[in-house]
Amino acid sequence: MSKSGRFSRLKKKVEKITGKPGPDSRVLEEAARILHDEVEYYDWVGFYIADPDQDELVLGPFVGEETDHTNIDYGEGICGQSADTEETFIVQNVAEADNYLSCSPEVKSEIVVPVFRSGEFVGEIDIDSHELAPFGPEDESFLESLAEVLAPFF
């Protein structure tokens, strides 16, 4: 199936779970599980929640290896840079990134997508891959559209 076919099916699947009642973190947890299990190059999928008072990102639900990076200052690493610029940040080869926080030596690339609610930055979708340069424009627009769907649950 084409990437766009797969992604529109996945978007529907995630939209479905957002209709369920329950605590917010359950929705994010399920969304992380779906993305992790269904896209073979999404090896770590998680959410960081913004704490604007501290200029800090706090790790929320995730699926993948445990990480030491439970709190990240704005500006620090790929996640912190995305928080600063409020823009999607793609690193196709983390070995070439100079401001990068490593979670696992297996990770080769990363995409971070900011999440906004009523125009305000509330957190991020963070995805690590064990593949080099797997992220294309389809991933970017898919994840940016999911950020809108998931924003109420941050």
User: Binding pattern to ligand SME, positions 135-154, x when CB under 6 A?
Assistant: --------------------
Does position 124 bind ligand SME by CB under 6 A?
A: no
User: Site for ligand SME (CB under 6 A): which residue of 101, 117, 144, 151?
Assistant: 101
Nearer to ligand SME, 53 or 68 (CB): 68
Six token digits for residue 124: 């991020």
Closest-by-Cβ residue to ligand SME is: 77
| Contact window for ligand SME (CB under 6 A) among 22-30, 35-43, 76-84, 136-144 | 76-84
Nearer to ligand SME, 4 or 65 (CB): 65
124-154 in b/e form (b: 16+ CB < 10 A) is bbbbbbeeeebbeeebeebbebbbebbeebb
Distances (CA, A) of 108 to 25, 60, 83, 131: 27, 22, 21, 6
Does position 78 bind ligand SME by CB under 6 A?
A: yes
Does position 10 bind ligand SME by CB under 6 A?
A: no
Q: How far apart are CA 46 and CA 101, in angstroms?
A: 15
C-beta of residue 108 within 8 angstroms of C-beta of residue 129:
yes
Q: How far apart are CA 6 and CA 122, in angstroms?
A: 27
Residue ranges in contact with ligand SME by CB under 6 A: 44, 46, 67, 69, 72, 77-80, 100-101, 103, 110, 126, 128
